[in-house]
Structure 1
Amino acid sequence: MCTTVNAGQRPYFFWDYEITDEEVRALLRGGTPFEKAWIISRILGHAGWDDIWRYLTVADIRANFENLRFRRAQDQELWTYALEKWTNHV
């Protein structure tokens, strides 16, 4: 799923929270480590591939990786593998 969201709209991957696109982006820029980890974990776990990259960079994921919570161990393994590959080829 790839969607364009206006600043005042709720992104589809936050279907169960009253949070707008603008608030998501503000927390990614200046939230606490806990808030950033929560937002990033939610995006990685529920957003479509293209939407992940509309909100995040590899550097965002890497900088917060220790604090991220994944729904499945396989997801954490996948992102660990991807970050290792991207780090060695960037």
Structure 2
Amino acid sequence: MFKVGKIINFYQKIGITIVELTGSLTVGDKIKIYKDGECLLTQKIDEINMNQEKIPFAKQGDVVALTLLNDDQKIQKGAEIFRLGELGVRS
């Protein structure tokens, strides 16, 4: 598991999460979201948006929008996002 970002905003009604990336993220990646040591959500990334356009991947420093399932309303600002899988820098 590798930390790839932090949630900077979440819009519950439309299910959009704004993330500042500290690592790379690609459509199809599986992520876990943690806050205060508790796993809030595990989900596969189906779509990444930047500047209102769909992109296949994003890199460190990008601020992106993700659509995340949050039926139990656990996602919060400040939660950390971890990518599951192999370590590696993506270009």
What TM-score, normalized by structure 2, do the two folds share?
0.25
Greater C-alpha radius of gyration: 1
From the two aligned structures, give the one with the greater helix fraction: 1
From the two aligned structures, give the one with the greater strand fraction: 2
What TM-score, normalized by structure 1, do the two folds share?
0.25
